[in-house]
Amino acid sequence: MTNDSSDINQGIKSEILDIPAAISVSDLADLMDVNPVEVVKGLMRGGYMFAVNDVIEHDIASVVVQIFGFKAKSPTQNDKTLTSLSVSTEGEDPKDVITRPPIVTILGHVDHGKTTLLDTIRKTNVVDGEAGGITQHIAAYQIKHDAQTITFLDTPGHEAFTAMRARGAQVTDIAILVIAADDGIMPQTLEAIDHVRAANVPMIIAITKIDVPNANVDDVYRQLSEQNILVEAWGGDVISIPLSGITGEGIPELLENILLVSEISELKANPKGKVRGVVIESKLDKSRGVITTALIQTGTIRQGDILVTGETYGKIRAMFDDKGEKIITAGPSKPIEIMGINDVPISGSIVEIVESDKEAKSIISAKSNKLSREGITLQDAHSRNIANNVRHIDLIIKTDVQGSIEAVKTVLDDLNSDTTRVNIIRIASGGITERDIMLAVASKAVIIGFNTLPEGGAKTLAKQEGIEIRNYTIIYKLVEDIQNALDGLLETEYQEVYVGRATIRAIFNVGRHTKVAGIYVNDGKATRDSQVHIIRSGEKVFEGSITTLKHFKNDVKEVTNGFEGGLTVEGFNEFEENDELEFYGLEEIT
């Protein structure tokens, strides 16, 4: 990269930086003396989604520094360590920092033996009590292996894993990807791989069901290689363990490798520091009230503490460990159940401790004032300039059939150039699901549906989270819109949406040049921000904006069905009794 390729690089020498095995984005920015936001943008160009306070590994840092005219010194062998992306211990007193247990999440396709594996690890039999493969027992628990503790997150799938990441909670230290030896890679497996890659955590492959007659471990390795995952048995660096959840074969090796990765990662926390944790799940129990399962990341939480999480708070009345035993304190990597929170918090909400109810209410109030989320839209692409004036857009794409995937990928790849980049976070066939929405939130991506539509509550969730879903049936229109978005030429299109209907019953003169129409709303409602169509004898005679809307003498935002009101219309005074008024809102076409 030459110095004249970007304004950022002007006057910067190709200095060699000594970057540690892991460094926070903000510290890397300080090291280069550049704005941290520019570093985040540089990471996005490479497809990495990190915030300013996140920790990145040396390999990633060494790529992004080149954008700013620097080079990274090669790390020594001892420095090449994996790093947890949870709470940093930087700036803590070394005497207070301790090694903490690893936090492990198991992901994979339904019926690939995840629950059986977890059951065998825990030495309890809960499989028979489960329906449809959905996990019913506690969401987090700890086990001992070789006198060392491992914390497992047991969730129904990667949607919870991503929901936590979407709300800024990077909890998992190690992801176990479960693949059945008789089934191989399935659609949910591919989805899980995308989620783990987006989270950038170490991954261990667990090949389950090796005891069944048609098991083929080598075929699984071949399928993994097609996803650019090369296991150690095939000369790569990804750990893979063939095992059986039924017989227990391979499980000791899996636990040993979890501890090995944990040791390499040097997972640390300060039990004396500020308390921070994450809500794993929460429910309303009829007899005990709100029960919240949380995982403490750093600090020590105590019975009687005042806890704030999401948009709720409460005084901790009681705490229980994963075995249901009552406890009064809990430290790093400890899963606990908490009683005393006022309302049910959202999974992934950050847990913090404050000094008083007053402080808790102040924090909740401040959060409520920031509820409106500025959504990620396709129009934003042109303004997302990063180093070397490269504009880019992150996409999650769902298609109707598997055969459409390659066609869509090919035409979008053709849009990549020296100045534009289309970064596909995930592409798969099927409907747009709530899992896709949460991945879009976590990755700040726009969702594209090609001949496919949102399922269930996905559309509602997208609206709540500020995620744009754009639907296409013609491939050239999809390409045209994305090209226009990158060029800054994409304009928002709107359509009229029917709001209500009213009839003019009387007309009042207000001054010499203004008339007020007295109306009766007989369907829907009349709203102050509507466009109004004035219809006489079945023909539209005028269309315009409402300037005033009143109920009796009061200015109002709307008049609903069955009520009377009065209005004036910008640029129109020729009202007649019995004119029909139709009210329309404007909705963005996606």
- pLDDT tens figures, 91-129: 667 788 899 999 998 888 777 778 788 888 877 433 343
Query: Is the predicted pLDDT of residue 365 greater than 80, yes or no?
Result: no
pLDDT band at 171 (very low <50, low <70, confident <90, very high): confident
This prediction has a pTM of 0.54
User: For position 576, what pLDDT does the model report?
Assistant: 93
User: For position 22, what pLDDT does the model report?
Assistant: 63
- Using H for helix, E for strand and C for coil, what is the string for 27-49? HHHHHHCCCHHHHHHHHHHCCCC
Query: Is the predicted pLDDT of residue 9 greater than 50, yes or no?
Result: no
**How far is residue 279's CA from residue 271's CA, in Å, rounded to a whole number?**
18
Lowest mean pLDDT among 3-17, 246-260, 356-370, 462-476: 3-17
Query: Is the predicted pLDDT of residue 79 greater than 50, yes or no?
Result: no
Lowest mean pLDDT among 21-35, 90-104, 213-227, 513-527: 21-35
Q: How many CB atoms lie within 10 A of CB 493?
A: 8
pLDDT band at 416 (very low <50, low <70, confident <90, very high): confident
Percent of the chain with pLDDT over 70: 80
What values do phi and psi take at 165, rounded to 5? -65, -35
Query: Is the predicted pLDDT of residue 224 greater than 90, yes or no?
Result: yes
Query: Is the predicted pLDDT of residue 206 greater than 90, yes or no?
Result: yes
CATH for 3-79 (3.30.980, 1.20.1070, 3.30.70, 1.10.10): 1.10.10
Could you report the per-residue pLDDT of 521-552, keeping only the tens digit for each? 999 999 998 899 999 988 889 999 998 999 88
Average pLDDT, the chain: 80
For the chain, domain boundaries: 3-79, 101-266, 276-368, 378-492, 495-588
- Can you count the helices (H) and strands (E) in the chain? 13, 34
264 burial type by CB count under 10 A (0-12 exposed, 13-18 middle, 19+ buried): middle
User: For position 27, what pLDDT does the model report?
Assistant: 76
User: For position 166, what pLDDT does the model report?
Assistant: 53
The token duo for 567 is 């209005």
Lowest mean pLDDT among 119-128, 313-322, 444-453: 119-128
pLDDT band at 163 (very low <50, low <70, confident <90, very high): low
User: For position 174, what pLDDT does the model report?
Assistant: 92
Lowest mean pLDDT among 135-149, 240-254, 264-278: 135-149
**How far is residue 412's CA from residue 468's CA, in Å, rounded to a whole number?**
18
**How far is residue 503's CA from residue 215's CA, in Å, rounded to a whole number?**
73
User: For position 180, what pLDDT does the model report?
Assistant: 93
Comparison of pLDDT for 522 and 347, the residue scoring more: 522
CA distances from 119 to 77, 230, 280, 332, 556 (A): 38, 28, 19, 24, 60
CA distances from 500 to 96, 524, 540, 559 (A): 65, 4, 16, 10
User: For position 14, what pLDDT does the model report?
Assistant: 54
Rounded-to-5 percentages of helix, strand, coil across the chain: 25, 35, 35
The CATH number given to 495-588 is 2.40.30.10
Interior/surface letters 477-486, b for 16+ CB within 10 angstroms, e for the rest: ebbebbbbbb
Comparison of pLDDT for 137 and 432, the residue scoring more: 432
**How far is residue 558's CA from residue 410's CA, in Å, rounded to a whole number?**
49
Of 199, 204, 322, nearest in space to 254 by CA:
204
Q: Are 17 and 64 in contact (CB under 8 A)?
A: no
Class of domain 101-266: alpha beta
Class of domain 276-368: mainly beta
Residues facing 434 on adjacent strands: none
Q: Are 502 and 583 in contact (CB under 8 A)?
A: yes
Comparison of pLDDT for 391 and 176, the residue scoring more: 176
The token duo for 340 is 């005393």
The CATH number given to 378-492 is 3.40.50.10050
* Fold agreement (101-266, 378-492): yes
- Using H for helix, E for strand and C for coil, what is the string for 522-560? EEEEEECCCEEEEEECCEEEEEEEEEEEEECCEECCEEE
User: For position 218, what pLDDT does the model report?
Assistant: 94
